[in-house]
Amino acid sequence: MSRQEHTELENWVKTWIEAGRALETIRREELRRFRYEEHIAAIDALLEISARHGAPRISSGLVEQQRLFAKLKT
């Protein structure tokens, strides 16, 4: 990697770090201003969907993950 490419990559990373901070600030502000009362219908609709179509989990998925890792290991 040339010095110029390295510098460009560093600048790209710095830009995304700054963008991430800015987006986090926006996200926090939106959450701070969020009013449950204004969104009751949408929230209730989402909860209803999960109640109708969701199935209780038998496990956290950790056992399945470990099974897959063991399979990949062999």
Query: Is 0.85 topped by the overall pTM?
Result: no
Q: How confident is the model at residue 61 (pLDDT cuts 50, 70, 90)?
A: confident
Structure tokens at 70: 């063991």
Q: Is 43 helix (H, G, I), strand (E, B) or coil?
A: helix
pLDDT of residue 56: 83
pLDDT of residue 40: 96
Question: Can you tell me which residue has the tokens 């987006």?
Answer: 23
Mean pLDDT of 65-70: 92
pLDDT of residue 55: 85
Residues 45, 52 contacting (CB under 8 angstroms): no
Tell me the helices (H) and strands (E) count for the chain, helix number first.
Answer: 3, 0
CA 50 to CA 13: how far, in whole Å? 38
pLDDT tens readout for residues 7-55? 999 999 999 999 999 999 999 999 999 999 999 999 999 999 989 998 8
